[in-house]
Each structure stands twice: as structure tokens, then as C-alpha cells.
Structure 1
Amino acid sequence: MMRVLVVLLVLLGVATAFLGIGRQQSIAVSGRLICNGYPAGEVRLKLYEKDILWDTLMKESYSGPDGTFIIAGDGREITNIDPKLNIYHKCNYNGPCVKKFGITIPDQFISAGKHPRMTYDIGTLNLANNFDGQSTDCIN
């Protein structure tokens, strides 16, 4: 039974992605990243649509030299997209990989269509802080 459910979910995802089933939806996120009070430039940002089996990358970008960013992406889903922003950084970390944490974007910032009408502002984040779900990522 579980195998059948997984197959159906995969087929639904493939149909949504390749056959144009579902609604086109978009999201935009902005903010400013700092590390110990200094701008955190060139921080890697990835906007994903969370799915059951694997997350779909909607857009990838980097913060500017002053730590500010705006990133927007879109996707097609039958239900509301479930967007999250992953942030990859080296603030206070000298290891071979990067630190990673994600921020789930509230549903009220999802727009219908390919171009977002609103932007979710995460404010200023100090990457020196510890964030829920933060991990180390070597393959990003």
C-alpha cells in the first residue's frame, strides 16, 4: 500500500512538472545578512519548493556586498507551493563545508502567477547566531 502511494505521488509530481497541471505560483524574499555586525556578502541563497520526496529548486542567488538580497522564484503545483529559503554561509566557521539553515515562507506571501506581488522581508539576520535546524552541508 505504501509503495503504491509513493508511486502515485511521484507520478503526480511528474505530471505537475511536465504536463503543466496545477497553478503557477510565485514567491519573493528579501533581507539583510550580517556576520558579527559586518555585512555578509556573497552568501549563497536557494529558494526551494518543499515536496514529499525531494525539494525543487526555484531560484539560486547570492547576497550583495552589503549583505542585502532579494530572491524570487516560481513553481507550478496543484496545491499551494510550500516555499523555503536555504542560507549557506561560513560565518564563524572554518570547516571545509558551510553552515546551512532554512526559513519557511508563510503562505500569505505566495502569489498567483509567475511574478510575485508581495515580498517576505526576513529583516536583518546575524549569521553568527544558532538557528533551528542548522546543519553542516558539503554538497550544496
Structure 2
Amino acid sequence: MVSLIICIILLSHLTFDALAEYSQSVAVRGSIYCNGSPSGGQKVKLYDRDSLEHDDLMKEGLTDQSGHFQLSGYEEELLSDIDPRLIILHECNVPCIVQMVIKVPNSFVSSGTTPKKTFDIGTIHLDEKLNRNFECIHSL
């Protein structure tokens, strides 16, 4: 009887560990330009896109005077891998605030809370990337 109770306790711990959340992390860096000049003060956000619930904000920040940024963050997931997205909010050549979404490749997702690699998006020229059918999120 005692061995049955011990087996039940061990199995419950193993099941709980299998369902436990685990940390995954990601890092992104790059530069943002508008009309050939560095775009300082642009808001950048790092999200984990979720299918069934609200997306999780992992980190946000602003580009510096040179248009550079670097973000890293992590998220706890129960049964799936994170689906990281970089969101750039900007007003380059538009009458409102527009968001540009860049998917971070899965190969840049690391186990644990500290990213092992950084996804470098290079230099984004917002005036060249703007789709003429943009959607405003906020009017100015």
C-alpha cells in the first residue's frame, strides 16, 4: 500500500513537471531611418503572438538619436513555442501612427530567459517599406 502511494505521488510530480511552463527568449536589434535620416524616438515593441489569447508584450523601447535599438525579452509558455514579432510604430510620411510588423525567425528563439543569439534586422528605411494601403492605428 505504501509503495502504491509513493508511485502516485511520483507520477503526479512527473505529470506536473511535463505540463510546467518553460522560458523562451529572443533578442532583436537594428536601425530605423525615415527619408534618409535616422529616426530617433520611434517606439519598438517585442511581442509573443498568441493564437488563443492576447499577445504578450515581452519588451518595449525607443530608438536612440541614431535610429538604433536593441530589445530582448522572454516569455513563459505552457505547451508551445513563442512566436515573436517586432512591432515598429512610426509616423514616417503618413498622417497617422502606423505599425510595421516583422516576424522573428524561430531559429533566433532560445531556451531560458537569456537569448543566445540576436536577430539583426539591419537598417529599415520606413519611407521605402510603406505600403500604400497602410492602416492607421492612431490619428495625429
TM-score (norm 2): 0.78
What SS does the corresponding residue of 1:108 show, helix, strand or coil? helix
Residue number in structure 2 paired with 1:6: none
Q: CA deviation at 1:56?
A: 0.9
Residue number in structure 1 paired with 2:39: 40
Report the count of equivalent residues. 118
Residue number in structure 1 paired with 2:54: 54
TM-score (norm 1): 0.78
The amino acid that maps onto 1:90 is: E
Alignment map for 1:76-87 (pairs within 5 Å)? 76-77=76-77, 78-87=79-88
Structure 2: gaps spanning 5 or more residues = 1-18
Do structure 1's residue 29 and structure 2's residue 35 form an aligned pair? no
Q: CA deviation at 1:132?
A: 9.7
Q: CA deviation at 1:99?
A: 1.1
Residue number in structure 2 paired with 1:124: 123
The amino acid that maps onto 2:80 is: T
In terms of Rg, which structure is larger?
2
Structure 1: gaps spanning 5 or more residues = 1-19
> CA-atom RMSD, angstroms?
2.0
Moved over 2 A (4+): 131-135
What is the rounded CA distance, in whole Å, between the counterparts of 1:57 and 1:80 in structure 2? 15
The amino acid that maps onto 1:24 is: S
Q: Is the 1:102–1:134 Cα contact (8 Å) retained in structure 2?
A: no
The amino acid that maps onto 1:23 is: Y
CA deviations 1:77-115 (Å, max 9, x no partner) are 12210000110011112x2x3011100000000011111
What is the rounded CA distance, in whole Å, between the counterparts of 1:49 and 1:132 in structure 2? 27
The amino acid that maps onto 1:69 is: F
Residue number in structure 1 paired with 2:5: none
Q: CA deviation at 1:135?
A: 2.7
Q: 1:103 to 1:134 in 2, by over 3 A?
A: farther
Give the share of equivalent positions with the same residue, in percent. 37
Q: 1:37 to 1:87 in 2, by over 3 A?
A: same
